[in-house]
A and B are shown apart, each in its own frame.
Chain A
Amino acid sequence: MNDSVKSPHIIADLTIALRAAIKRRHGEGADIGNIKVAVLGGSNRTLLFDLHESGNQRRLVLRQETYRAATSPFLAPHDQFKLLQIAHRHGLPVPEPIFELNAADNLGRGFVMSCIEGDSLPKVLLNDPTYAPARKRFASQTGEILAQLHGIDSGEANFLAHTADSIDPLAAQIARYDSYGEYHPAIDVGIRWLETRRPSASKESIVHGDYRNGNLILGPQGIRGVLDWECAHLGSAVEDIAWVCLRSWRYGKLDKAVGGMGTREDLYQAYRANGGRALEPDEVHWWEVFGLLRWAVLNIMQASGHISGERRSLAFASCGRNASMIEYDLLMTINGQYSQE
């Protein structure tokens, strides 16, 4: 983890500011306790804490923005909060949005939401016998959730229309890749392949943008919460379908295309049964190549943050070398060696 995140005096300062923010909204009688810093995220600091109010206790989560850059692929916290409100209003399994931070809080940009109990660590979810029933349902439940998300009128989230990923997702990746000043032959091969085979325009949907094993809270019986909405945008629903099937989220369980837990057949069937559009293999293939390219660029971004000194961490340094594995999967997917198994 980044030293600046786990430093005791930073946590102490955060606690003081957070306590004041809570008291401003819930009254002097409210207090916080049991504060825990979650592991480092790509663009956020996540603090879990208990809210004590009128004899009741509730576990909440503070999400603070830690990364801002002109080429950042991440949504501003204000937009993430609005999106959570939409998803929550439509009954999707997401944390309840509680309040947004403001200038008086002196905590930067971010928001507070409810805490959904469960586990999100892929290694646990893929191997612990406790989660066997959840694994069995994962693909079909994912189909249901994504169909529900993609069925929401995208006009409700028209504040996302200005983002680079909503305007042209491929151009957005190219601009980010170029901004890091590195040359990766596999990525340029991927860009050329994608640019010469763009699928025809489809109905615009709200796209989660990072729906996958690792960003979901699961209980023993299934998915309880969809987290990490910072990559959301408007675009093709197929992007989410392809993203959750990337080899990168299978963690060695290569025969289970959907997050190392389920099959494409179960995912596609549940998606269609819940109102999702028909999925054409060529289009899914294009979006999988796109997804791998995007994931490689995101890893280069994290390494760039480490190299520049802006966000030094061993994890982000590792991302730089992880990019090669994603590039390999990208080329093996392009040439058909990794087919849509």
Chain B
Amino acid sequence: MNQDQPDIQEILRSVIAYTEDVAERSKGSERYDALCAAYLLSAVARELTLGPEQSRAQHAKLSALTNASGSLADLYAVFCRNTRSGGYDKKWNEAFKFALQQTIDKVAVSNPQHLDVIHRK
């Protein structure tokens, strides 16, 4: 780390606590905006922790599934095009499994409480 304290997670915790406090003592659109801010910053905090490993694992799985190379965004594009055109109809379960895991990874960042207990870590 090349920066002084507080670190990123500590800064995020502080700002999230502030926005939640603003929401608590606000009404209407101000309260709603504050809740949205807290929600988005909480996702940022989780993405910083979980994101790199999720991306690495997904890239490995997609490379094998698509037989393609490129960035994770490139592989998403290949997967989506093939899925939609029926290219994975014969390995539907495998394609479905990847889509579900990719979605679980996203929800683990956006709102892990939304996941069914079978998918919570």
B43 with A183: CB separation less than 8 A: no
A325 touches B (CB below 8 Å): yes
A106 touches B (CB below 8 Å): no
A324 with B32: CB separation less than 8 A: no
B52 touches A (CB below 8 Å): no
Selected from B39, B83, B114, the residue in CB contact (under 8 A) with A328 is B114
Interface string of A172-188 (1 = CB under 8 A from B): 00000000000111111
**A188 CA / B29 CA spacing, docked (Å):** 34
A189 with B95: CB separation less than 8 A: yes
B106 with A324: CB separation less than 8 A: yes
A72 touches B (CB below 8 Å): no
B residues 70-121 in Cβ contact with A at 8 Å: 73, 76-77, 79-81, 83-84, 86, 88-89, 95-96, 98-100, 102-104, 106-107, 109-111, 114-116, 118
Interface string of B23-45 (1 = CB under 8 A from A): 00000110011001101100100
Main secondary structure of the interface of B (DSSP, over half): helix
A78 touches B (CB below 8 Å): no
Interface size class of B (residues with CB under 8 A): 35 or more
Residue of A196, A321, A335 contacting most chain B CB atoms (<10 Å): A321
Known interface pairs A189-B83, A317-B36, A324-B110; A40-B29 also in contact (CB < 8 Å): yes
**A39 CA / B80 CA spacing, docked (Å):** 36
**A236 CA / B4 CA spacing, docked (Å):** 60
A185 with B29: CB separation less than 8 A: no
**A183 CA / B99 CA spacing, docked (Å):** 11
**A230 CA / B111 CA spacing, docked (Å):** 29
B99 with A186: CB separation less than 8 A: yes
A192 touches B (CB below 8 Å): yes
Residue of B nearest to A315 (CB): B36
Residue of B nearest to A321 (CB): B110
**A252 CA / B104 CA spacing, docked (Å):** 19
**A27 CA / B113 CA spacing, docked (Å):** 56
Interface string of B54-68 (1 = CB under 8 A from A): 000000000000000
B36: A residues at CB distance < 8 A = 314-315, 317-318
**A321 CA / B100 CA spacing, docked (Å):** 16
A residues 122-150 in Cβ contact with B at 8 Å: none
Interface size class of A (residues with CB under 8 A): 20 to 34
A40: B residues at CB distance < 8 A = 29
Selected from B32, B81, B99, B110, the residue in CB contact (under 8 A) with A331 is B99
Selected from B33, B76, B95, B98, the residue in CB contact (under 8 A) with A183 is B76
B40: A residues at CB distance < 8 A = 314, 317-318, 321
Write the nearest CB–CB distance from A319 to chain B, whole angstroms: 9
**A328 CA / B118 CA spacing, docked (Å):** 13
Write the nearest CB–CB distance from A282 to chain B, whole angstroms: 18
Known interface pairs A183-B80, A185-B83, A315-B33; A328-B107 also in contact (CB < 8 Å): yes
Selected from A6, A196, A318, A328, the residue in CB contact (under 8 A) with B104 is A328
Write the nearest CB–CB distance from B116 to chain A, whole angstroms: 7
B98: A residues at CB distance < 8 A = 185
Residue of A nearest to B114 (CB): A325
**A189 CA / B91 CA spacing, docked (Å):** 12
Write the nearest CB–CB distance from A41 to chain B, whole angstroms: 12
B84 with A192: CB separation less than 8 A: yes
A188 with B83: CB separation less than 8 A: yes
Selected from A188, A313, A331, the residue in CB contact (under 8 A) with B80 is A188
A39 with B73: CB separation less than 8 A: no
B99 with A39: CB separation less than 8 A: no
Can you list the 6 inter-chain pairs with the closest CB atoms, starting with the nearest?
A324-B106, A1-B29, A314-B36, A185-B99, A183-B76, A188-B80
If A192-B83, A313-B33 are given as contacts, then 5 extra A-B residue pairs at C-beta distance below 8 Å, sorted by A number, are A183-B79, A188-B80, A317-B40, A322-B110, A324-B103
